């Protein structure tokens, strides 16, 4: 059976409901003593699950991804996470 772990669907409706991102971020914040209001850059953010979890933990979060889905619409974090999608030499802030 092939491992399809990295085959992520960039569609909010098909997003799996899991608390893993929040649990991981809580662990990382505790383990590495990350302070609230720290600035986080999430490069290759995909759907933004981890970006949103860091934002919810009090970080200032910047997410960068080359997904066409993200270039069309940002629905994660209620617009509180800054998104930038890059394609070649052009970029679009969302």
Q: What is the pLDDT along the chain (94 residues), one digit of tens a residue?
A: 455 545 555 555 666 667 888 899 999 999 999 999 898 888 888 778 888 899 889 988 888 877 665 555 554 545 566 666 554 444 444 4
* Phi, psi dihedrals of residue 38, rounded to the nearest 5°: -65, 155
pTM (predicted TM-score): 0.62
Residue 13 gets which letter from DSSP? Answer: G
- Give me the residue spans of the domains in the chain: 19-93
Distance CA 32, CA 45 (A): 21
Q: Quick one: pLDDT at residue 38?
A: 92
Q: Which helix (H) or strand (E) holds 52?
A: helix 49-56
Q: Quick one: pLDDT at residue 10?
A: 52
H-type helices in the chain, by residue range? 20-31, 49-56, 68-72
CATH of 19-93, one of 3.10.20.340, 1.10.600.10, 3.90.100.10, 3.40.50.150: 3.40.50.150
């Amino acid at each position: 059976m092939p491992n399809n772990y990295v085959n992520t669907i960039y569609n909010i409706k098909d997003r799996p409901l899991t608390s893993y991102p929040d649990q991981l971020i809580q662990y990382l914040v505790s383990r590495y003593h990350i302070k609230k209001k720290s600035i986080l850059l999430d490069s290759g953010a995909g759907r933004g699950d981890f970006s949103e979890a860091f934002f919810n933990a009090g970080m200032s979060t910047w997410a960068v991804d080359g997904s066409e889905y993200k270039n069309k619409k940002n629905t994660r974090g209620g617009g509180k996470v800054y998104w930038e999608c890059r394609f070649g030499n052009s970029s679009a802030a969302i």
